[in-house]
Structure 1
Amino acid sequence: MTRIFIQDKATFKTTARTYDDAGFLHVPGRVSKTGTQQYLRRELGLDGDPNARVTVYRPPEEVFAADSLASFDGADVTVMHPGELVNAKNYRKTSVGLIRGPGQQDGDFVKADLVVKDADAIAAIEKRGFVELSAGYTAEYEHSPGTTDDGTEYEYVQRGIRINHAALLPAGAARAGRQARLYDHQPKGSTMSKITLDSGRSVEVQDEATAALVQDHIDRLQKQVTDAQAELDKRQATIDGQAEQITKLQAATADDQITARLKAVTDARARAEKIAPGVTFDSIDPVEIQRQALAKARPSTDWAAKSEAYVQAAFDMAFDQVETTDAHADQKRKLAEDGAKVVTDKAKMPAYDSYTARFTQPQAKE
């Protein structure tokens, strides 16, 4: 399996923080979690549409594996992702702190203790709201489709997770869900958090972690409803398309339609035989009959590549030419017959007989 660098984003709210004598910020936070997450195919180096989404399962035995948790210890903290793993070449430009100690299981999450040392990074957290965590790590992806206990289908399983850094980001992209957040010690007293229900009504919950948990659950349920509705719409579209096809087939098999079809085929064959006498037909499609007749009458043209409209127009012109030629032939034949009749009728006249006798009978001598 190929080891791939990936980044996970996790949302959380601003928390109470502790500072040491050097001014460094110490704060624990939930950095990653188990379950399924969405990735783009290009993120995993997969073929096909690079923007297509792939569902990846992060099983607990991988997320909480001893080697994976140990990789948190000493991992760097960055502001935004550097676009690559933190290394000796980019360390001075990217690292603003570190994670102290290994990761620890916290329910479905991995908790880590962050130490932010850079003054600008601390200011970004306090004044600019850079209060999201996003883990940067490498992992292996095993193609092993399956379904989680909650019914979510996935295509790949993530294994061999090794943490490289945790990035501080502004609010927005929450790949690991709303509960992946910094802990809040609440030194200023309890605060109320709002939860927006599906109806659009908001309710307040005192415990912030509970609010995040409930909101995340609501979001997941809403997504399931949306996905189910999309699947229903897709199936309904298929049913509607089949119903339309049935209606068309019923119309096409009606008695008047069959009669019209037979007449069209018969007329096309009759006209085609005039255009190309002796042509053999292997189709009951009027247009294909026209193509076959034209192919014999005018073999220099690739009639198979011509559109139906072009074929029909050429066929009508060819038939008109044949009809005109036949009409001229009939006219000449009639004129010839009429001329022969005139000569025959004249031969039967007495005067004509007397006239011709003067030249054909011997004359008496005096």
Structure 2
Amino acid sequence: MKKIFVQDKATFKTTARTYTDAGFLMVPGRVSKTGTQKYLRKELGLDGDPNAPVTVYRPADEVFNADSLASFDGADVTVLHPGELVNAKNYRKTSVGLIRGAGRPDGDFVVADLIVKDADAIKMIEERGFVELSAGYTAEYEPAKGTTDDGTEYDYIQRNIRINHPALLPAGAARAGRQARIFDNQPKGNTMTKVTLDNGRSVEIQDEATAALVSDHIDRLIKQIADAQAELDKRQATIDGQAEQITKLQAATADDQITARLKAVTDARARAEKVAPGVTFDSIDPVEIQRQALAKARPTTDWVGKSEAYVQAAFDMAFDQAETTDAHAEQKRKLAEDGAKAIKEQPKPAYDSYAARFTQAKE
């Protein structure tokens, strides 16, 4: 399996902000999440259309693996992604803090304790709403198509996840959808969150956690409707195909079709009698009649497995040979009759002499 560096996104709820005497911000964050995520093929280094999406499954036993959770401890915090793993060469330019301690499971998420030390980064959190998190990590991708418990199909399974850094992102940048949102970026006051319903109308909800739940519920309903419509479309396609088949069958039973088919069967039987005289035919399918004739005329060949085109070509050749043989036999018969007639018409002595040679009679 190839190890690839990717960036995954979730969100954290800033309800436990504390500041040290040195002015550092200490806050827990939801950094990683189980379930499925969509990626572009180019993000995972896969062949094919680089912009084609693939679905990756992050099973709980991998996300909550002890070694994976331990990799959170000491991971650097960045503002946005540096475009590569944080390392000794870019550390001074990218790191604005770190994670203290290992990650820990929290429902579908992994929660970690962040310490943000850079004053500008703290200001971006407080004033510009950089409160969403995106995990930068390495992982291995196992090609494995399957379906999760909630019915989501996936193409790969993510394994051996190792965290390199969490990046602070502005609102709306999270990969995890509407759950990846700011919950409490203004601890001293309440904020109103606008939720767009499936009918297009927008309402404002004061509690952001409730707003997230409402939005997620609407998303699930929309997905259920889309899945139901897809199933209806699939069934309609089946019905349309059956209707087309019925139309073809009806056309095949029309008078002119019946007449044409009877002629085809009659012609096939007549020609087959030439190829295999005396054979009994138990089919009204011209091709099957040809197979039966060939099976008698050339029994060493397995005609059952041959294609229609092959059978028809072989039958035509056999028929032509039979016609040629019959023509030669008729030609010889006529020559014999003509010869006998010519001899009978000669003067009697000559005829008697000719006959005596065959009967060994003495003149």
Please classify the TM superposition score into its range, dividing by the shorter chain length.
0.5 to 0.7
Q: Identity over aligned residues, as a percent?
A: 85
Alignment RMSD: 3.4
Aligned position for 1:61: 61
Query: How far apart are the structure 1 equivalents of 2:252 and 2:28?
Result: 72
1:175 partnered with 2:175: yes
- How far is the alpha carbon of 1:72 from its aligned partner? 0.7
Between stretches 225-234 and 139-148, larger displacement belongs to 225-234
Query: How far apart are the structure 2 equivalents of 1:226 and 1:174?
Result: 23
Query: How far apart are the structure 2 equivalents of 1:206 and 1:107?
Result: 24
- How far is the alpha carbon of 1:175 from its aligned partner? 1.8
Query: How far apart are the structure 2 equivalents of 1:174 and 1:216?
Result: 14
Query: How far apart are the structure 1 equivalents of 2:202 and 2:13?
Result: 18
Change (3 A) 1:243 1:105: same
Query: How far apart are the structure 2 equivalents of 1:14 and 1:53?
Result: 32
**Is 2:171–2:181's contact at 8 Å kept on the other side of the alignment?**
no
Between stretches 170-179 and 29-38, larger displacement belongs to 170-179
Alignment of 1:1-366 (within 5 A): 1-11=1-11, 17-180=17-180, 184=184, 187-188=187-188, 190-230=190-230, 232-233=232-233, 236=236
Query: How far apart are the structure 2 equivalents of 1:252 and 1:48?
Result: 45
Partner amino acid, structure 2, of 1:137: Y
**Is 1:10–1:133's contact at 8 Å kept on the other side of the alignment?**
yes
- How far is the alpha carbon of 1:236 from its aligned partner? 4.4
Query: How far apart are the structure 1 equivalents of 2:104 and 2:24?
Result: 22
Partner amino acid, structure 1, of 2:132: E
Change (3 A) 1:104 1:136: same
**Is 2:17–2:25's contact at 8 Å kept on the other side of the alignment?**
yes
Structure 2 gap segments, 5+ residues each: 260-363
Partner amino acid, structure 2, of 1:45: G
Partner amino acid, structure 1, of 2:69: L
Partner amino acid, structure 2, of 1:217: H
**Is 1:77–1:168's contact at 8 Å kept on the other side of the alignment?**
yes
Query: How far apart are the structure 1 equivalents of 2:181 and 2:172?
Result: 13
Which string of whole-angstrom CA distances, capped at 9 and with x for unpartnered residues, describes residues 85-142 of structure 1?
A: 1111111111111111111111111111111112222222223332221100111111
**Is 1:11–1:171's contact at 8 Å kept on the other side of the alignment?**
no
SS at match of 1:178: helix
Between stretches 89-98 and 17-26, larger displacement belongs to 17-26
Change (3 A) 1:20 1:233: same
Change (3 A) 1:221 1:15: same
**Is 1:195–1:202's contact at 8 Å kept on the other side of the alignment?**
yes
Query: How far apart are the structure 2 equivalents of 1:224 and 1:42?
Result: 29
Query: How far apart are the structure 1 equivalents of 2:235 and 2:5?
Result: 38
Between stretches 245-254 and 112-121, larger displacement belongs to 245-254
Partner amino acid, structure 2, of 1:90: N
Query: How far apart are the structure 1 equivalents of 2:181 and 2:175?
Result: 12
Aligned position for 2:319: none
**Is 2:15–2:187's contact at 8 Å kept on the other side of the alignment?**
no
- How far is the alpha carbon of 1:211 from its aligned partner? 2.6
Query: How far apart are the structure 2 equivalents of 1:54 and 1:212?
Result: 25
Which string of whole-angstrom CA distances, capped at 9 and with x for unpartnered residues, describes residues 221-279 of structure 1?
A: 323433443464466467657867986997899789999xxxxxxxxxxxxxxxxxxxx
SS at match of 1:123: helix
Change (3 A) 1:183 1:200: closer
Name the count of aligned residue pairs. Answer: 264
**Is 1:178–1:212's contact at 8 Å kept on the other side of the alignment?**
yes
Change (3 A) 1:172 1:240: farther
SS at match of 2:73: coil
Query: How far apart are the structure 2 equivalents of 1:142 and 1:58?
Result: 11
Query: How far apart are the structure 1 equivalents of 2:79 and 2:253?
Result: 70
Question: TM-score, normalised to structure 2's length?
Answer: 0.62
Between stretches 240-249 and 9-18, larger displacement belongs to 240-249
Change (3 A) 1:185 1:13: closer
**Is 2:183–2:208's contact at 8 Å kept on the other side of the alignment?**
no
SS at match of 1:96: strand
Change (3 A) 1:31 1:233: same
